[in-house]
Amino acid sequence: MAFSKIKAMLKDFFGKSEHDLEGHQFKKAFESISKAQLIDVRTPAEVTSGTIGKAINIDFMSRDFDAKIQKLEADKTYFVFCRSGTRSATAVRKMKQAGFTAYNLVGGINSWPR
Protein backbone atom coordinates (compact mmCIF):
# COMPACT_ATOMS: atom_id res chain seq x y z
CA MET A 1 0.00 0.00 0.00
CA ALA A 2 1.35 3.42 -0.93
CA PHE A 3 2.47 5.76 1.84
CA SER A 4 0.00 8.44 0.71
CA LYS A 5 -2.92 6.03 1.16
CA ILE A 6 -1.73 5.08 4.65
CA LYS A 7 -1.32 8.75 5.55
CA ALA A 8 -4.86 9.51 4.33
CA MET A 9 -6.26 6.57 6.30
CA LEU A 10 -4.53 7.76 9.47
CA LYS A 11 -5.89 11.28 8.99
CA ASP A 12 -9.40 9.87 8.61
CA PHE A 13 -8.97 7.65 11.65
CA PHE A 14 -7.53 10.31 13.93
CA GLY A 15 -9.62 13.11 12.43
CA LYS A 16 -6.80 15.67 12.17
CA SER A 17 -5.86 17.15 8.84
CA GLU A 18 -3.85 20.07 7.54
CA HIS A 19 -7.09 22.07 7.66
CA ASP A 20 -7.42 21.62 11.44
CA LEU A 21 -5.92 24.62 13.22
CA GLU A 22 -5.37 25.25 16.93
CA GLY A 23 -6.88 28.44 18.38
CA HIS A 24 -4.01 30.89 17.88
CA GLN A 25 -3.18 29.51 14.41
CA PHE A 26 -6.85 29.70 13.41
CA LYS A 27 -7.25 33.31 14.59
CA LYS A 28 -3.97 34.43 13.03
CA ALA A 29 -4.85 32.84 9.68
CA PHE A 30 -8.35 34.33 9.77
CA GLU A 31 -7.00 37.82 10.49
CA SER A 32 -4.33 37.57 7.77
CA ILE A 33 -6.67 36.73 4.88
CA SER A 34 -8.59 39.63 3.37
CA LYS A 35 -11.50 37.57 2.02
CA ALA A 36 -12.08 35.44 5.11
CA GLN A 37 -15.44 34.49 6.63
CA LEU A 38 -16.18 32.86 9.98
CA ILE A 39 -18.92 30.23 9.98
CA ASP A 40 -20.54 28.99 13.18
CA VAL A 41 -22.07 25.58 12.41
CA ARG A 42 -23.82 25.20 15.77
CA THR A 43 -27.59 25.19 16.10
CA PRO A 44 -29.37 28.56 16.42
CA ALA A 45 -30.09 27.71 20.08
CA GLU A 46 -26.36 27.25 20.72
CA VAL A 47 -25.53 30.51 18.94
CA THR A 48 -27.76 32.46 21.35
CA SER A 49 -25.11 31.83 24.03
CA GLY A 50 -22.65 33.86 21.94
CA THR A 51 -20.50 33.51 18.87
CA ILE A 52 -17.24 34.90 17.45
CA GLY A 53 -17.31 38.37 15.94
CA LYS A 54 -19.25 38.61 12.70
CA ALA A 55 -19.61 34.86 12.16
CA ILE A 56 -22.52 33.72 10.06
CA ASN A 57 -24.55 30.77 11.29
CA ILE A 58 -25.09 27.78 9.02
CA ASP A 59 -26.50 25.00 11.20
CA PHE A 60 -24.67 21.77 10.37
CA MET A 61 -27.60 19.75 11.69
CA SER A 62 -30.14 21.40 9.37
CA ARG A 63 -31.44 19.51 6.34
CA ASP A 64 -30.33 22.26 4.00
CA PHE A 65 -26.72 22.56 5.20
CA ASP A 66 -25.30 21.22 1.92
CA ALA A 67 -27.51 23.54 -0.14
CA LYS A 68 -26.47 26.54 1.95
CA ILE A 69 -22.75 25.89 1.58
CA GLN A 70 -23.19 25.59 -2.20
CA LYS A 71 -24.38 29.23 -2.18
CA LEU A 72 -21.21 30.54 -0.49
CA GLU A 73 -18.75 32.69 -2.43
CA ALA A 74 -16.09 30.53 -4.05
CA ASP A 75 -13.33 33.14 -3.71
CA LYS A 76 -13.51 33.40 0.09
CA THR A 77 -11.63 31.38 2.66
CA TYR A 78 -13.86 29.95 5.37
CA PHE A 79 -13.02 29.48 9.03
CA VAL A 80 -15.47 27.07 10.61
CA PHE A 81 -16.20 26.33 14.26
CA CYS A 82 -18.72 24.62 16.51
CA ARG A 83 -18.86 23.75 20.21
CA SER A 84 -16.12 21.10 20.28
CA GLY A 85 -14.61 20.96 16.78
CA THR A 86 -16.33 17.75 15.67
CA ARG A 87 -19.20 19.12 13.57
CA SER A 88 -16.96 21.82 12.14
CA ALA A 89 -14.35 19.23 11.10
CA THR A 90 -17.03 17.32 9.19
CA ALA A 91 -18.38 20.58 7.73
CA VAL A 92 -14.88 21.52 6.53
CA ARG A 93 -14.49 18.13 4.83
CA LYS A 94 -17.82 18.67 3.03
CA MET A 95 -16.81 22.20 2.05
CA LYS A 96 -13.46 21.01 0.70
CA GLN A 97 -15.25 18.35 -1.36
CA ALA A 98 -17.44 21.13 -2.76
CA GLY A 99 -14.31 23.05 -3.82
CA PHE A 100 -14.03 25.59 -1.00
CA THR A 101 -10.99 26.51 1.05
CA ALA A 102 -11.94 26.00 4.69
CA TYR A 103 -10.31 25.53 8.07
CA ASN A 104 -11.57 23.96 11.29
CA LEU A 105 -11.07 25.39 14.79
CA VAL A 106 -9.78 22.42 16.80
CA GLY A 107 -11.47 22.30 20.20
CA GLY A 108 -14.37 24.51 19.13
CA ILE A 109 -15.42 28.00 20.13
CA ASN A 110 -13.71 27.87 23.53
CA SER A 111 -10.36 27.50 21.73
CA TRP A 112 -10.72 30.96 20.16
CA PRO A 113 -8.14 33.19 21.87
CA ARG A 114 -9.67 36.11 23.75
Q: Cα(40)–Cα(82) distance, rounded to whole angstroms?
A: 6
In a domain, 4, yes or no: no
Tell me what pLDDT residue 63 has: 97
Average pLDDT, the chain: 90
In a domain, 8, yes or no: no
Tell me what pLDDT residue 13 has: 47
In a domain, 6, yes or no: no
In a domain, 106, yes or no: yes
What is the average per-residue pLDDT within 92-98? 96
Dihedral over Cα of 101, 105, 109, 114: its sign: negative
pTM for the structure as a whole: 0.85
In a domain, 76, yes or no: yes
pLDDT digits (tens, 9 = 90+) for 3-56: 455 545 445 545 557 799 999 999 999 999 999 999 999 999 999 999 999 999
* Cβ atoms of 10 and 50 closer than 8 Å: no
Number of domains in the chain: 1
> Structural domain of residue 98, as residue ranges?
15-111
In a domain, 9, yes or no: no
In a domain, 10, yes or no: no
Domain CATH number, residue 86: 3.40.250.10
In a domain, 43, yes or no: yes
Q: Cα(96)–Cα(80) distance, rounded to whole angstroms?
A: 12
